[in-house]
Amino acid sequence: MKNNTNFILPSQTSARKRTKNISAIERDLFVIDDKIKGIGNGRTYFVRTYGCQANFHDSETISGILEDLGYTKSDDIEKADLILLNTCAIRRNAEEKVLGEIGNLKKLKRNDPDKIIAMSGCMAQEEEMVTHILSKYPQVDLIFGTHNIYNLPKLLYHALLNKEKTVEVYSKEGDIVEALPVKRDNHHKAWVNISYGCDKFCSYCIVPYTRGKERSRHIEDILDEVRSLKDEGYKEITLLGQNVNSYGLDLRLDYGFSDLLREVAETGLDRIRFMTPYPSNFDDETIDVCARYKNIMPSIHLPLQSGNDEILFKMNRRYNSEEYRILFDKLKNKIDDCAFTTDIIVGFPNESDEAFDDTLKMVDHCKYDNAYTFIYSKREGTPAAKIEDHIDMKVKEERLQILNAKIAEYANMHNQKYQDQTTEVLVDGPSKKDKDVFAGYNPQGKLVNFTGHDIKEGDIIKVKITKAKSFSLDGEAIED
């Protein structure tokens, strides 16, 4: 493969930039030129996705584009003509997994030089990472960023037909690109982006740099998508945004997340979820809408990060522990039978034992149904990366274990409430381990494995719980 001028590299300095401009909506950016049409005919693609729902949904868009070009999906990484890794940069270990995988692909590329190896997603937005990959992993043919997905046909043309190494990563704040094709992985559950990017700049987090400025899609674009999903028979949608409940602030309309959520609920779709709300953007109107509409699932993910005020301040989270606790109590009192999950980081630079204790105290107060817990990971270019940290990794690992034990205890406590009770499950399909066992989720987001007859993916059925475990429930379908 020749080196060429198709190089637009990321810059974290430009990625940090924010203006007050309202983002442009681009409806005509995605085009397949005549010379590019059908370049995927007879070829296969394989996509592996890392990271959050936004990234998984991006992979569905990338798949849609590839299929428009004629490619067919393959589950066989060895045989696929195009291998794409859609990556995540949230923590060092997420990146290490990807680098390991790219390393493994070297042999495949050597055996078949016509194979295209591509990388997209948040790692592609990191300046140092792209330089590292270009110098150490020559097997990678194509790198494109989170703002460049629409241009994939052209980029692929360069890489595949011109045999040129191609890198296109914009770091600009970002527009909103509509009218991209999408090939959804699931036929009864769908993700719907309502906003992109993040302006919160938590001091530890890379997302504001990799995803750009916070920008909301237009109300009608979202509602049209929701209505057509309903018409296609989808049973559940999850509204997505890095700060899903600050929806609309950038549009400066008198219309916010609570209004959108209400309109989405009024479409009558069976199940509605949203990810991820930011605590200080959770207003009373949104709580009321959640409480009022039975098709908004009683399951709220409310990231805590830390229960200590000094750490929350250093994290640049815009709430203190008292405000978080008041919000939590309000949600719990107003929304019937609601499950709560959270995200917690242990070992933020110089987190003291007392600070960690405050986190444990908050967990004791909220008694979460489940939590995603992480050891702080230094991200180059973020403000926290500059703090000199005096806490031993061993201490951090111990804290994580203590925290996880507590989380498991409360998870089990909540699940025991379901013993011998009936719960409604949206069926995902037969379980991976046993074809006679089905799996699905109840309104509170609990994983339920159950037995039954004549059950189809996408059914919503009643299941009696026969055994409650810490992180899942076993049961039997109730036959009418």
Q: Dihedrals φ, ψ of 91, to 5°? A: -140, 160
Rounded to a whole number of angstroms, the minimum distance from the CB of residue 228 to ligand F3S is: 26
Q: Which stretch binds ligand SAH (CB under 6 A): 42-50, 188-196, 200-208, 361-369?
A: 200-208
Q: Is 342 helix (H, G, I), strand (E, B) or coil?
A: strand
Q: Dihedrals φ, ψ of 364, to 5°? A: -65, -35
* Gyration radius of the chain over CA positions: 23
Q: Is 242 helix (H, G, I), strand (E, B) or coil?
A: coil
Rounded to a whole number of angstroms, the minimum distance from the CB of residue 84 to ligand F3S is: 14
Question: Which token pair is 181?
Answer: 């094709």
Q: Using CA atoms in the order 297, 291, 473, 57, what is the torsion angle rounded to 10 degrees? A: 20
Rounded to a whole number of angstroms, the minimum distance from the CB of residue 271 to ligand F3S is: 23
Q: Dihedrals φ, ψ of 456, to 5°? A: -115, 150
Amino acid at 230: K
Q: Which stretch binds ligand SF4 (CB under 6 A): 98-106, 135-143, 157-165, 194-202?
A: 194-202
Residue 207 within binding range of ligand F3S, rule CB under 6 A: yes
Q: Which is nearer to ligand SAH, 390 or 453 (CB)?
A: 390
CB 396, CB 375: distance < 8 Å: yes
Minimal CB distance residue for ligand SAH: 343
Minimal CB distance residue for ligand F3S: 51
Residue 349 within binding range of ligand SAH, rule CB under 6 A: no
Q: Which is nearer to ligand SAH, 85 or 345 (CB)?
A: 345
Dmax over CA atoms of the chain, in Å, equals: 66
CA dist 194 and 37 (Å) reads: 30
CA dist 296 and 290 (Å) reads: 6
Residue 210 within binding range of ligand F3S, rule CB under 6 A: yes
Residue 207 within binding range of ligand SF4, rule CB under 6 A: yes
CA dist 183 and 154 (Å) reads: 19
Residue 201 within binding range of ligand SF4, rule CB under 6 A: yes
Span 2-61, contacts to ligand F3S by CB under 6 A: 51-52, 54-55
Rounded to a whole number of angstroms, the minimum distance from the CB of residue 336 to ligand SAH is: 24
Question: Which token pair is 167?
Answer: 């890198």
Residues 6+ apart with CB under 8 A from 115: 80, 81, 82, 83, 108, 109
CA dist 120 and 142 (Å) reads: 8
Of the residues 62, 66, 287, 345, which one makes contact with ligand SAH according to CB under 6 A: 345
Rounded to a whole number of angstroms, the minimum distance from the CB of residue 246 to ligand SAH is: 10
Span 83-122, contacts to ligand SAH by CB under 6 A: 90-91
Q: Which stretch binds ligand SAH (CB under 6 A): 128-136, 203-211, 216-224, 261-269?
A: 203-211
Span 242-281, contacts to ligand SAH by CB under 6 A: 242, 276
Residues 6+ apart with CB under 8 A from 101: 48, 85
CA dist 182 and 58 (Å) reads: 9
CA distances 354 to 78, 294, 318, 351, Å, are: 51, 41, 21, 8
Residue 417: CB atoms within 10 A of its CB come to 11
Rounded to a whole number of angstroms, the minimum distance from the CB of residue 302 to ligand SAH is: 9
Q: Which is nearer to ligand F3S, 154 or 211 (CB)?
A: 211
- Alpha helical stretches, state H, 271-308: 284-292
Contact string 153-192 vs ligand SAH (x = CB under 6 A): ----------------------------------------
Question: Which token pair is 367?
Answer: 């008694």
Residue 205 within binding range of ligand SF4, rule CB under 6 A: yes
Residue 198 within binding range of ligand SF4, rule CB under 6 A: yes
Residue 208 interaction partner, one of ligand F3S, ligand SF4, ligand SAH, none, beta carbon < 5-8 Å per kind? ligand SF4
Of the residues 377, 423, 444, 449, which one makes contact with ligand SAH according to CB under 6 A: 377
CA dist 452 and 463 (Å) reads: 9
Select from 471, 365, 460, 456 the least CA-distant residue to 418: 471
Residue 374 interaction partner, one of ligand F3S, ligand SAH, ligand SF4, none, beta carbon < 5-8 Å per kind? ligand SAH
Of the residues 65, 202, 265, 468, which one makes contact with ligand SF4 according to CB under 6 A: 202
CA dist 171 and 9 (Å) reads: 8
Rounded to a whole number of angstroms, the minimum distance from the CB of residue 15 to ligand SF4 is: 13
Which residue reads 């990959």 in tokens?
Answer: 133
Residue 374 within binding range of ligand SAH, rule CB under 6 A: yes
CB 331, CB 340: distance < 8 Å: yes
Residue 147 within binding range of ligand F3S, rule CB under 6 A: no
Q: Which is nearer to ligand F3S, 240 or 403 (CB)?
A: 240
Interacting residue ranges for ligand SF4, rule: CB under 6 A = 198, 200-202, 205, 207-208, 242-243, 278
Interacting residue ranges for ligand SAH, rule: CB under 6 A = 90-91, 204-205, 207, 242, 276, 303, 305, 343, 345, 374, 376-377, 379
Interacting residue ranges for ligand F3S, rule: CB under 6 A = 51-52, 54-55, 88-90, 121-122, 206-207, 210-211
